[in-house]
Amino acid sequence: MALPSVYLTRRIPHRAMQALRASCGSVKVWDEEDRPVPREVLLREAAQVDGLLVMLTERVDTDLLAAAPNLKAISTMSVGYDHIDIAACKARGIAVGHTPDVLTDATADHAFALLLTAARRIPEGERYVRGGEWGPWKPDLLLGQQVSGATLGILGFGRIGQGVAARAKGFNMRLLVSGGRNVAAAATAYGAQDVGLETLLEESDFISVHVPLSTETYHLIGKRELSMMKKTAILINTARGGVIDHQALYDALKGGAIAAAALDVTEPEPINPDHPLLTLDNCLIVPHIASATYQTRERMGLLAVDNLLAALNHEPLPAEVEA
Ligand code: GLV
């Protein structure tokens, strides 16, 4: 039987690439660092191959599937799969793999790093020093919010939300959670309270978002939800930008309805450099790097390859999207 042909929309870590090349007849990669694969190129390449390995930047929809009659497997090097029309893939009998678990620790570390960074106003302090403004020590210089002992609301208590809870326990935080599969049992395991969204918004000092993006969660945090938060609250998002209404967030941060936000994800990505959120000192934005450690990206690459090869061989995927 001929070895499969695959197309990758980005270079992946070396060991993962080697594993793929060892089992495929042809491996083609979009190799331009500075821009994602243009849509027309992706449609053309997908038409030629048995398997696709994509990133979260590529939309896999009915048009792409229609252009790819031989496609048998799709693997995304991401845990999130909101960029893929899963129902349409299933209807075509195309297996879809993703990369859960291997990125949980790195992402939870990053969410907690953002929480601490925003709480203690680290970027402002750094800009202050670099800007030559550092004068005499003062008791009220750059005061932030206390993390130890504060209440953390975790919106979406799945794998990553639970990882954040594990870290928060080291800071003696009270944990409120809402949403996620088997949330009640998981809450008990982490000593958290499973509360509704409203209680979580009203009582949390920090709110960390971990829900997947879907039609139900699009703009889940908008004007009303922001107005329910404490004026001292800090909002952290490492999930998807679309979960938060950015105009409402800007208004809340500018008007003092909440204290600060730290975003790893925005809508769209990259955020427009002229976006008003970037004018605010109390908004910290980094470029979607929650899983960006050498170790985690290698594990993600290897799992994405294992998923793709398993699907192409009609074997069970190590991590198939359940939907
Ligand atoms: C990153 O956002 C991912 O879904 O892996």
- Give residue 261's pLDDT: 99
Residue nearest to atom 3 of ligand 1 (CA): 78
- Give residue 113's pLDDT: 99
Q: What is the C-alpha separation between 55 and 221, in angstroms, rounded?
A: 26
Q: Judge whether 5-100+294-312 and 104-285 match in fold.
A: yes
Domain assignments of the chain as residue spans, ordered by start: 5-100+294-312, 104-285
pLDDT for 323 beyond 80 = no
| Separation of CA 132 and ligand 1 centre (Å) | 38
| Separation of CA 208 and ligand 1 centre (Å) | 16
243 lines ligand 1 (CB under 6 A): no
Provide the pLDDT confidence category of residue 82 given band limits of 50, 70 and 90. very high
Q: Would you state the CATH architecture of domain 5-100+294-312?
A: 3-Layer(aba) Sandwich (3.40)
- Give residue 322's pLDDT: 85
| Separation of CA 24 and ligand 1 centre (Å) | 26
* Residues near 71 by beta carbon (within 8 Å), at least 6 away in sequence: 46, 49, 50, 51, 52, 65, 92, 94
Cβ distance 201 to 218 under 8 Å? no
291 lines ligand 1 (CB under 6 A): yes
Mean pLDDT of 296-319: 98
Q: What percent of the chain has pLDDT over 70?
A: 99
111 lines ligand 1 (CB under 6 A): no
Residue range 157-200, pLDDT digits in tens:
999 999 999 999 999 999 999 998 899 999 999 999 999 999 99
Q: What is the pTM of this model?
A: 0.97
CATH of domain 104-285: 3.40.50.720
| Separation of CA 78 and ligand 1 centre (Å) | 4
Residue nearest to atom 1 of ligand 1 (CA): 78
Handedness of CA 26, 31, 35, 38 (dihedral sign): negative
Mean pLDDT of 86-96: 98
69: preceding bond cis by omega (within 30 degrees) = no
**Which phi and psi angles does 26 have, rounded to 5°?**
-145, 135
Q: Indicate which residues carry an active-site annotation.
A: 240, 269, 288
Residue nearest to atom 4 of ligand 1 (CA): 80
Mean pLDDT of 198-213: 98
pLDDT for 232 beyond 80 = yes
Helix (H) or strand (E) holding 152: strand 151-155
